[in-house]
Amino acid sequence: MENISHKNKKLYIFIIITVLIIIISGYSWIGKSAIQKNYIIFQEAQQLEKNKEYSKAIGKYEEAATKGDPASLVALGNIYYYGKIVSQDYTKALGYFEKAAKHKNAEGYKNLGVMHQSGFGTTVNLKKAYDSYLMAAKLGNSEAEFNLASMYMSGFGASQDFKEAMKWFEKSAAQGNSNAMCQIAYIKGIGLDGSKGNMKLAMEWYKKAAELKNSEAMVTLGNMYWMSYGVKQDYNEAFKWYKKAESLDSQEAICNIGLMYENGFGVEKNISKALSFYKKAADMGDSVAQNHYMRLKTQ
């Protein structure tokens, strides 16, 4: 048999490489096609759930889930976790979240963290909770970043480290998490991270959170203006922030509005209105407002 010429060798190598590229491209196309099909099924399931056709929706989620669709696995986990359309089953929820996590799904990891931290469907395991949050956080999940930061903040599940907490709160805040913004405000306000306390900077962060409709931030701003925390006392500004928070059904804000009417802070004193706001907050479950209402009513 004659030796293959150098020119032919190059040709054979070229052909082999071309065939391999075609094969790899084919597998890649098949993979993308499967993902697209799963996404279509997932969207159909979401629409069915929105239309309250729950049995059909679960069927569609399961169809995509059996094909390895992580979004559908998470959706099924949430359905069993919250138990709004099926009987609540934390064990099933945990199983779906674990399967989603195996597909490197951030939401799946985050939800696993919540379950391991709370002990729902499993025993409390803070190490597993931390590890799950960390995996989700590394994948950019804002809630996981917040939960991880909270562990460092409290020392519950991680060694207390305010600087590390700040790092993760900042990552979460960068994605628009208003709760993280509130925590940054608190840390910066009193200098928990080793920095000099800066109430002006704290107020800036609370205002950023308030712009995102965070009622806690609104109430805190109201308190700062009322009690003169890092800012000149201004009852009118305090009242303004409490009213904004009231529109978001903040019990604390509603109770504080009652206090302002009772004492005439920033508004004309009006006992009838004070009672009305106390009752409104009390009916929502606020025990402080309940005490104020009973006290004022018996005077």
For 247, which DSSP code?
Answer: T
Confidence check: pLDDT of 18 > 90: no
DSSP category for residue 154: H
> What are the helix and strand counts (H, E) for the chain?
15, 0
For the whole prediction, is pTM greater than 0.75? yes
Interhelix angle 90-102/70-82, rounded to 10 degrees, is 160
Asked, for residue 32, whether it belongs to a domain, the answer is: no
Q: Which of 105, 121, 139 corresponds to the end of one domain? A: 139
Q: Which two tokens stand for residue 46?
A: 């979401």
Q: How far apart are CA 60 and CA 141, in angstroms?
A: 26
Q: Is residue 222 part of a domain?
A: no
Q: Is the pLDDT of residue 216 over 70?
A: yes
Whether residue 147 lies inside any domain: the answer is no
Q: Is residue 160 part of a domain?
A: no
Assigned token pair, 142: 């804002």
pLDDT, tens digit (0-9, with 9 covering 90-100), for 229-245: 999 999 999 999 999 99
User: What whole-number distance in Å separates Cα of residue 250 and Cα of residue 40?
Assistant: 39
Does 281 have pLDDT greater than 70?
yes
Confidence check: pLDDT of 125 > 90: yes
The pLDDT, as a whole number, for residue 226 is 97
Q: Which domain holds residue 125?
A: 42-139
pLDDT of residue 8 exceeding 70: no
Q: Which amino acid is at 92?
A: K
Residues 157-185 as b/e (b if ≥16 CB within 10 A, e otherwise) read bbeeebebbbbbbbbbbeeebbbbbbbbb
Of 139, 173, 193, the domain-final residue: 139
CB 131 within 8 A of CB 137: no
The answer to whether residue 164 is domain-embedded is no
Q: What is the mean pLDDT of residues 192-221?
A: 96
| Counted domains in the chain | 2
CATH number, domain of 297, equals 1.25.40.10
- Token duo for residue 149: 């930061």
Task: Determine, yes or no, domain membership for 96.
Answer: yes
| Residue 56 domain flag | yes
pLDDT of 106 > 50? The answer is yes
